[in-house]
Structure 1
Amino acid sequence: MDLCVLPPEIIINVLEHLPLADLVRAESTSRMIQAFCHCEIERRLMNGPLRDEWNVLIHLDQAVATPTRFDARTKEVTYAIAMKPIEIKTMYDHKRQIHCSLLRKSRQSQYQFHEQFQFTLDKGLAEDAPVDIAAQGTKLCAVDGTITRLLTHATQIVDDKKRIAPRPIKYALQVTEMRLPLSTLAA
């Protein structure tokens, strides 16, 4: 059947009623309706029910991921993560893993675990100099952020006694962006 004979309004109306998995399948099989499918996917992501579907759990702090753009060429959705920097304390300057999780909203309006990823704090970060970091999940989730080692003050003498333990080293982690493939959204 030649889809060019149908008016665009009918094609758009039919695509509005398809589930996302069928919409992704139709997008990858038919070149004639690919642009219509891309527009419908982008509309659902930006204004529809998929807008607040993903959250990120970072070191016991949860942040909402809101979609900013859909790239039809790479078939990836980019999410912005608005959050305050998370303060992480460690006693020694050593390599450390920060465990994070990707959460997806279920039908009962609760967020459930979907995927795990890790950021790595490297040894010897300079103080007060932000460093870009990236993490890759197991199912092609890519997360970008910045880590900054906060300034530590010199050892202070309290009541004429020195501290036995060193002062903790503080880091500020801020996640800025997340990218998910369209196949993950449709699953």
Structure 2
Amino acid sequence: MDISILPPEIICCVLEQLPLADLVRAERTCRMIQAFCHSEIQRRITSGPLKDDWGVLVHLDQATATATHFDAVTKKVTFTISMPQPVQIKTMFDHRRQIQCSLLRRNRYCEDFVFTVEKGMTEGSTVNVTAEGAALCEIDAALTRLVKAPSPPNKKIIAPSPNLYSLQLTQLQIPLSAIAAQ
């Protein structure tokens, strides 16, 4: 059957009824239907039921990820991550340290990410960092080493004050295949 004889309204109605996994499969079969599939995927991801499915657990704090864009070329979905305030991490020594992150879908664990704080980061500096997961997911963040508060002049110091870092997650990218497989 030649798909070009069907009106676009009928094609859109049929595609609305398909589950996301079947929609992704249909997108790969025919160039004539590909644009319709991309449009339906974009609609479901940015304004439909899949918009607020994802979240990130970072150092015992949870942030929500909201889908904003589907790139039809790379087949990745971009999410913005809303964090009211950055997560603060304390460490006693200036050494390499890993910060654990987990990708969540509807409050279910999906995948682990690890951000690495490198030794020798100067106080007050901010570095953009990226972590990748096993399923080609990427998460971007801004890592800042905070300036230590000065100690009072007449107080006896027993131990040095800890180094403080703040981690602000900014963006998440998940392949469409990983979203459709869930």
TM-score by length of 2: 0.96
Q: What is the match of residue 63 of structure 2?
A: 63
Q: What is the match of residue 102 of structure 1?
A: 103
Q: What is the match of residue 167 of structure 1?
A: 161
5+ residue gaps, structure 2: none
Listed one character per residue, the Cα deviations across residues 94-121 of structure 1 (whole Å, up to 9, x for unaligned) are 100000000011xxxxx11000010000
User: In the aligned structure 1, how far is the partner of 2:98 from the partner of 2:155?
Assistant: 34
Please say if 1:24 is aligned against 2:24: yes
Task: Report SS of the residue matched to 2:4.
Answer: helix
Q: What is the match of residue 116 of structure 2?
A: 120
2:138 to 128, 142, 149: 142
Listed one character per residue, the Cα deviations across residues 142-179 of structure 1 (whole Å, up to 9, x for unaligned) are 0001000001133334xx55222110110010000000
Q: What is the match of residue 180 of structure 2?
A: 186
User: In the aligned structure 2, how far is the partner of 1:28 from the partner of 1:72?
Assistant: 11
CA-atom RMSD, angstroms?
1.0
User: In the aligned structure 2, how far is the partner of 1:161 from the partner of 1:9?
Assistant: 76
User: In the aligned structure 2, how far is the partner of 1:15 from the partner of 1:7?
Assistant: 13
Q: Give the counterpart letter for 1:168 in structure 2.
A: P
Identity %, equivalent residues: 58
Moved over 6 A (4+): none
The total of aligned residue pairs comes to 180
User: In the aligned structure 2, how far is the partner of 1:125 from the partner of 1:5?
Assistant: 63
- What is the CA distance between 1:30 and its match in structure 2? 1.5
User: In the aligned structure 2, how far is the partner of 1:28 from the partner of 1:123?
Assistant: 46
User: In the aligned structure 2, how far is the partner of 1:44 from the partner of 1:154?
Assistant: 51
Q: Give the counterpart letter for 1:72 in structure 2.
A: A
TM-score by length of 1: 0.94
Q: Give the counterpart letter for 1:97 in structure 2.
A: Q
Q: Give the counterpart letter for 1:156 in structure 2.
A: P
Q: What is the match of residue 33 of structure 1?
A: 33
Task: Report SS of the residue matched to 2:108.
Answer: strand
Q: What is the match of residue 108 of structure 1?
A: none
5+ residue gaps, structure 1: 106-110
Q: Give the counterpart letter for 1:130 in structure 2.
A: T
